[in-house]
Structure 1
Amino acid sequence: MGAITIIQYKTVNVDGLDVFYREAGDPSKPAFVLLHGFPSSSSMFRNLMPLLARDFHVLAPDLIGFGNSAAPSRESFEYTFENLTKNVAGF
């Protein structure tokens, strides 16, 4: 029986917006970022992360407006691919 992989649940502030993410694996290993699609969240990777964590530092954020990340109004945040990309890059 293999070792149990611990998945940590964290939040980081990116440009004034809280981004929830899941993290597993050794931070000294190469990073592997898992990005979900619409409509979903990082939860979809909960079974995949332990497998990847053997060889990678795995990060799975919830995009803005999804899962446990901030969901600002459309008046205060323009939900475009460009803005979501900027947020992920800031992450």
Structure 2
Amino acid sequence: MTFLPSSINEAADDCRMVYVSETPPQKPRPLFDGESDLITVQRIGEITGLSEATIRKEINDGRLPACRIGRRLYVPKTELAEYVMKGVGVGR
């Protein structure tokens, strides 16, 4: 037997959004949530899969802002997130 609603309103009353978890999706987490405010070149390589040389080239070419503390280079988390969102890459 096929159920046919007698009106549009009745059909709308029977419809509801169903999520796999039965709860609405949460807001997306900010990029690099849980990382330090300053991220080392080595850690960026671990996160992105890029080589340290590639990351350093992006920094040296001025495409990825960084600061030096002692002998280490650090990229501010906010700058890295902005860089990723822009889709900047080597050779662009």
TM-score range, shorter chain: under 0.3
Q: Which has the higher strand share?
A: 1
Q: Which has the higher helix share?
A: 2
- TM-score, normalised to structure 2, is 0.26
Structure with more relative contact order (C-alpha pairs < 8 Å, separation 6 or more): 1
- TM-score, normalised to structure 1, is 0.26
